Chains A and B, each alone.
Chain A
């Protein structure tokens, strides 16, 4: 069965410093992986996704993630944090093998950006 582990529940960075949000996955199939962002009292917005094409995926707002099969990881990075990046971030894996588009979410990482 698929599962996702987000290794940090809270991450705090200073504005202008790099961001690293960690995600490990478990999947019986060749996975599709996603990062979503949720700003306070808002719905989820897709940041980026990996679907077996290039292993380095670029998303919106300067974020990117690298799919590493050997490490079963899909960590999210950004070179320079902005105050507007403060939000909760969710990693998810798709139940592609079952062809149902079901998403399995991690428990989330709350990113705080200090001025």
Chain B
């Protein structure tokens, strides 16, 4: 049981490039989410999904896209990277209730 896995661990992009951050979970959780962590700001919700085929925006969705074609996977796409997207990205999953969220190890992204 691997829990929540994220790839890559580190990534450097140039402004304007696109990429996909991968997230997978093997706990059969319906709920998955993406957060970004910036110094002094805690974690902020980007997008979330309550099940396959259902996604919604969180607090800071601009510049990011998501889709949920399977229960296991929830990729996060940066369409045109900007320096403001330099951050550490965490994926999390949980069952609907109880709502303990399990976090992946994070992806550290730098946009030059």
Residues of B within 8 A of A100 (CB): 31, 48, 50, 56
Interface pair B106/A43, CB less than 8 Å apart: yes
**Interface residues as binary, A26-67 with B (CB distance below 8 Å gives 1, 0 otherwise):** 000000101010000011111001010000000000000000
Q: Write the chain B residue with the least CB distance to A94.
A: B99
The segment from A70-78, A79-87, A101-109 found at the interface with B is: A101-109
Tell me the B37-88 residues at the A interface (CB within 8 Å): 40-45, 48, 50, 56, 58
Interface pair A44/B42, CB less than 8 Å apart: no
Interface pair B99/A101, CB less than 8 Å apart: yes
Q: What separation, in Å, do the CA atoms of A36 and B99 have in the docked complex?
A: 13
B100 interface residue, CB < 8 Å from A?
Answer: yes
Given contacts A43-B106, A101-B94, contact A32 B44 (CB under 8 A): no
Chain B interface mostly = strand
Interface pair A102/B103, CB less than 8 Å apart: no
Tell me the A1-41 residues at the B interface (CB within 8 Å): 9, 32, 34, 36
**Interface residues as binary, B22-35 with A (CB distance below 8 Å gives 1, 0 otherwise):** 00000000010101
Q: What separation, in Å, do the CA atoms of A44 and B36 have in the docked complex?
A: 12
Q: What is the number of residues of chain B that contact chain A, defined by CB distance less than 8 Å? A: 27
B101 interface residue, CB < 8 Å from A?
Answer: yes
Residues of B within 8 A of A94 (CB): 99
Given contacts A32-B99, A49-B100, contact A102 B33 (CB under 8 A): yes
**Interface residues as binary, A86-115 with B (CB distance below 8 Å gives 1, 0 otherwise):** 000010101010011111111110000000
Residues of B within 8 A of A99 (CB): 96
Given A102-B45, A105-B43: 15 more A-B contacts, CB < 8 Å: A42-B105, A46-B102, A49-B100, A94-B99, A96-B99, A100-B31, A101-B94, A102-B33, A102-B48, A102-B58, A103-B92, A107-B40, A107-B41, A108-B40, A108-B42
A→B interface (CB under 8 Å): 9, 32, 34, 36, 42-46, 49, 51, 90, 92, 94, 96, 99-108
